[in-house]
Amino acid sequence: MGPKPIITDREARLVVRAANTGDYTARQLHDAFSLKCSVRTVQRLLQRVDHLVYTKMDRTLPLDAAHMAARLEWSEKMVLFTQWTNTIYSDEKKFNLDGPDGYKTYWHDLRLPRRDIEVMQWPARSPDFNPIENVWSKMSSIMYANARQYHSKEELKVAVLAAWEQISQDYIDNLIASMPRRCIEGIKLRGKKTHY
């Protein structure tokens, strides 16, 4: 006969029916039905349903018509730019100290004294055009693997530097080489979000 199922057939039907009607996370479905199983069990149940398709939640800010127009204009202007390897990519990145409610430490962009340095203007809400965002994402994945948290600025600083050391020059070179493709995709999508 085997062990009693963690989720009953009735609960499974309710979860699948609810998943069919809207965009819900496994956590939302778990909580909505007060299930006694884990969220991971709900995820596995949904994975077994052929007609349900998992899509990753888009965590970026929405683009309005003005954003898309600016992104398209930037893509068209920069598609033939040849100095990507001579460009300094900068941005600001926030790393959390002691979880989401803890202190925040910022890795600030590089501030250069004004010396005949042309500053590139990036369109608003366009992290997909800036390869430094990919670097920040990879560093965050390394630093926060296995739900790692940091409890002091010194510990966080050591982790940032260690993560940076794990980023290969080949990885960075490939990101820089992707800039023309990012522009082409921005043009093809008429300023909508790219897959980068």
Q: Hey, what CATH class is 1-57 in?
A: mainly alpha
Is 191 in contact with 70 (CB distance < 8 Å)? yes
Alpha-helical regions (H) of the chain: 9-21, 26-32, 39-47, 65-78, 132-143, 153-166, 169-177, 179-188
**What confidence score (pLDDT) does residue 130 get?**
94
**What confidence score (pLDDT) does residue 95 get?**
57
**Separation between Cα atoms, residue 72 and residue 21, nearest integer Å:** 35
Tens digits of pLDDT across the chain (196 residues): 666 668 899 999 999 999 888 778 889 999 999 999 999 999 999 999 988 887 777 777 899 999 999 999 999 999 999 999 999 887 765 656 555 545 555 544 445 556 667 778 889 999 999 999 999 999 999 998 877 888 888 999 999 999 999 999 999 999 999 999 999 999 999 999 999 9
Amino acid present at 100 = P
Domain 65-188, CATH among 3.30.420.10, 1.10.3720.10, 3.40.50.1950, 3.30.70.1150: 3.30.420.10
